Structure 1
Amino acid sequence: MEHDSTVYVGLDVHKDSITVAYAIGAGEVELLGKIGTTQADIDRLCKRLQSKGRHVRIVYEAGPCGYGLYRQLGEKGFDCMVCAPSLIPKKPGERVKTDRRDAIKLVRSLRAGDLSAVHVPDIEDEAFRDLARAWVTAKDDLKQARQRLKSFLLSHGVRYTARADWGPAHRRWVSQYSFASEWQQLAFEEHRRTIEDRLAQCERLAAALRDAVVNWRFYPAVLGLQAMRGVQFVTAIGMLAELGDPSRFEHPRQLMAWLGVTPSEHSSGGKRRQGSITKTGNSYARKLLIESAWSYRHPARVSPEIQRRHEGIPKAIIDRAWDAQIRLCRRYRKLAARGRHANVAVVAVARELSGFIWDISRLAMSLAVPHSRQAA
């Protein structure tokens, strides 16, 4: 056995089991077997792998089991990668899928260099991202609860004549309405109670986020991004929680590709064909980006709200945010004048907006926006 050769290891990870395959150098891929997921099982696996070579490279797919295994293997000194499942090469017509085959395929793809690694956040960033995602989930639940109540009222012929936007007047009307039937009234009250519970949950999580973000290492970037038009606290928090460290992208085009706002392409020979955006990467961050881009349909201006968010921000960031607003507003007008559909124009603006987000977040971290200022 050549102990100086690199050992390539593929792990097919599940909740209660891990299927292990390996290859030494350019040798044949062998199946090591199936192990448990406890700390003792991982320790025994590490000892077996260390006996097979000096340099061990391990890969497993990103999934619901998280990054705990990645950190355990890293503490043991192994070179570990978490790869993107959607980017694993697959043969056309392949119809058989088993844990054994998946582990073997990971070994071969790792050895060939065909895998794309996903970003693994550190423990603090992952904890903050979990809090931000809980907030997003609570807001989605609130939206669904409100929609269920609207559907319930509509199914019984109850219509609100004004704008049903859950403003003060709409909420007051809902709170005062009653049904003649006792059973219908009970169902109505349960719908209302669900909305109140979800609203209270959103407020608790929002307060927790505002308290926690001050101690987050990317707090300067959160403040810096809010200097831009269309990027408020919700967008800045959500974007950075999913994005992580902006410095991991060496060029803004890498961030555009990660957000999935670059055009797809199918070119051959002398013909170049570009299609719609790829929509790869993080869907929630892309959603926030597109929502922010819609604000650049209007002429460039600094509103009182943006002016308030500029307080305490370095002038270099404010100037860069204004440059972004001038360029992106002009970009939308040019595309609209060419007859482009509004959605197409906004996506094009969003692609350039991601470049400014990359630039301003890195600039804010380098200038270290004062941490004493509270989040807007």
Structure 2
Amino acid sequence: MWILLPLMTIPVSAAGEGTSTLLVVSLDDRPGRRLQAPAVDVDLPGVGVRAMADDGSRIGDRADDGIWMWAGTVPAGETRTLRLLDGDRQLAALDLAIPAGDRAFFAYKLLADGSVVPDPAARPIERVGDVIPTSGDIVGAASAMGGGARAAEEGTRGGDRPVGDDEVRVRLFLDDRAVQRVHDPIVVVPDQGRGPVHLADDGRVAGDTPDDGIYVGDLVVQRTQYLRFEVADGDDPLGELTVFLPSTGQAEVRMRSTEGEPGIELAVEPTAQGANEGPASGGGSASVVVVDRLAHVVWVGVALFAIAFAWLRSVLWKAWTDEVRPVLAKLDRWLDAQAAADAGRGGGEPGDGT
């Protein structure tokens, strides 16, 4: 069954007109994950059927997240028919008007009934579709790309590159231990076009303890006094926060999930980290656990001190009422009796001249 879909193009970068465009197509299979062998079929000589991937090999894709991606070079300024396939089964037929520019991003979503619709929630990422280098020279590749590409790489590689003088590396923590409502937390900085950055709890980020309920991720942003960012759990928005950013090369932002709306809140004010500190010393989720335990010990100490003080007060009050105050009362009566006796003796003495 042929399903003709309306065109939905997310312009990513229009660096100038050219004879070819990098066509990027994504297909969101969450949460069902029913696709077995998704592919695209482009009506171009030499292209044909091409498999879609979900291995994190391209910018904008996170490995095994249920969002499949294909990218290929096609002539610009033309309308082409692209079929979305799953093995031998056709999912949809798309008439795509390829815009002039260096790339175009078409995002779609597979619904529960098997139909395919445009995905307006997909966020444009600079340099989306470019191949992520697999060599060790990540720094050189990142510097040649835009800020969005750097943020995308940092979301999968832990932000292991130096930051510029006008940038700040922000380590993000999301504590979901109490509520346990998130599964795929994502952070986006819309004002700077940074993200999405996926927060992970699998130990990939240095210092993170796997499966402890605290999601961690790194994000490099332009230096600013106030940073506004949005947090979502997959496709479900959790809320947005605006925080004061310390004027250092590294900072930590700690959040926690909530049961109501919005679904997140700031746990503590952002803290500055030393410029020479690496990812491990920047504090992972293990350091959050240590801080929480220290706070617990402090509160227990305060509670024990209050109980001890109340007990000591009751003991002192009982000693005062049962022992000290009766003695003082007897002493007061004895002094009054002595004063009365002295006054009586003074009135019986003979007067002068007798």
Q: Same fold (TM over 0.5)?
A: no
Question: TM-score with structure 2 length normalisation?
Answer: 0.22
Q: When you count strand as a share of all residues, which structure comes out higher?
A: 2
For the pair shown, the structure with the greater C-alpha radius of gyration is: 2
